[in-house]
Amino acid sequence: MADHYTRELGFELGWDLARYGRPFDRSQANVDVLAGYAAGRVYFEVPQHTASRYHAKWLQLRLSAIRRRRIVRADVTPEYLQLIDCETCPVTLERLTHSTRTGTDWSVDRINNDGAYASGNLMVISTRANRAKRAKNYRQVARLAHATGGEIIDGLTPAEWARLACLMVGAENIPDAQPTLTPLLTRIPEDCRVPLYYLFQQFLLASVARAATRNHLIKTLNGLHPDHAQRERLRLAAERLAILRKNVTYAYDALADDQIQNFLKSWFTSLPRESVPRLLRLASYFGGHQCEAAPRVGLTRASRSAELRRAGWAAAHAACRPCRARRAAWCPRRSARPRDGCDRRTGAMRRAAG
């Protein structure tokens, strides 16, 4: 499929609409779509398939993209939409519904509105969150997240805006490292670009529920850091996180604790650059399968910390399904409990850490 609109793309969309027998507003469709639909109606006397909600959403996305003078990339398929689907909106925390015409209905939206309808730039959120986001960019959303008073602004509370900001920061080209060193306030969607610091918080949060799992992970992570004080900070942060997690309704709220964040950021930003590739390998074991390269060699002492933060980006790419496919010892997205014995998991984590 081309990276820009062609008449063939419009014709193929109209053909598929006829093949699946999907209704659409013809007054909003261009001549290419209408021509493909007319040809499809002649060829397919009756619909050939019953469209699943993923096929219906795929057709809807393609139609919406053409109206915006954009296209849906070839890697966005009904199967891909099923991959990124979820049961709960990561912004409003409401259980998603389907075809109820309410604010809880599921919707697929671009993370970065300036980006394409492509894999890595799509997320499933509620219709209410989608309407609130509209054409806002990350900086606008971040400002709303810091609003005082707790009042609803444009349909969302400040806490919900803060969760949306977490989802959007990875898709933005931000020169400042500070936005990437913020608390992870909601789960990482499938196939969504996130800072490495977010992925670090994700697998730490998923590991602290059980003491054995927590201790194995902390031992592995501290093997990457030469500083005894930083290793102690990470241990204390993990223990405090385990306690706070028991007392919150939504597990990610525990990561908003200031003391935990101070300890985690101190450990993360002081990590030697030679340990970053090993941290990335460990992150890949927990779901970050597309990690960017480590910081460049030859940095001065003053620039090393900033470069480390800029290099700390990873794409959390479809973590759960690869885990199921390869029978991994533990899947951080689905459960906080290990699926196999501690020895196997510990060995795998040690191998990942190098």
Three-class SS of 71-98? CECCCCCHHHHHHHCCCECCCCCCECEC
DSSP 254-270: GGG-HHHHHHHHHHHHT
Q: Residues near 308 by Cβ (< 8 Å), separated by ≥ 6?
A: 269, 271, 273, 276, 295
| Amino acid making up residue 119 | S
The H-assigned helical ranges of the chain are 7-20, 31-43, 53-67, 78-84, 127-133, 138-145, 158-168, 196-207, 211-222, 228-245, 258-269, 276-285, 301-311, 320-325, 342-352
Dihedral angle sign, alpha carbons of residues 212, 213, 214, 217: positive
> pLDDT under 50 in the chain at which residues?
289-346, 348-349
What pLDDT, on a 0 to 100 scale, did the predictor assign at position 190?
87
State the DSSP H helix or E strand holding residue 194, giving kind and residue range, or none if neither: strand 192-195
Tokens of 257: 């604790």
Long-range contacts of the stretch 86-89 (C-beta < 8 A, 24+): 86/124, 86/189, 86/190, 89/124, 89/125, 89/126, 89/129
Q: Residues near 38 by Cβ (< 8 Å), separated by ≥ 6?
A: 14, 18
What pLDDT, on a 0 to 100 scale, did the predictor assign at position 4?
83
What pLDDT, on a 0 to 100 scale, did the predictor assign at position 17?
96
Four-CA torsion 10, 11, 15, 18, nearest 10 degrees: 70
Tokens of 46: 């009756």
| DSSP state for residue 195 in the 8-state scheme | E
CA angle 165, 63, 19 (to 5 degrees): 135
What pLDDT, on a 0 to 100 scale, did the predictor assign at position 251?
96
Bridge partners (DSSP) listed for residue 320? none
Give me the helix-helix angle, 196-207 and 258-269, nearest 10°.
Answer: 120
CB neighbour burial string for 222-241, b if at least 16 within 10 angstroms, e if fewer: bbbbeeeebbebbbebbbbb
What pLDDT, on a 0 to 100 scale, did the predictor assign at position 184?
96
Bridge partners (DSSP) listed for residue 313? 195
CA distance 34 to 141: 37
Going from N- to C-terminal start, the domains of the chain cover 1-72, 77-172, 174-352
Dihedral angle sign, alpha carbons of residues 117, 118, 124, 130: negative
Long-range contacts of the stretch 41-45 (C-beta < 8 A, 24+): 43/15, 43/18, 44/18, 44/19
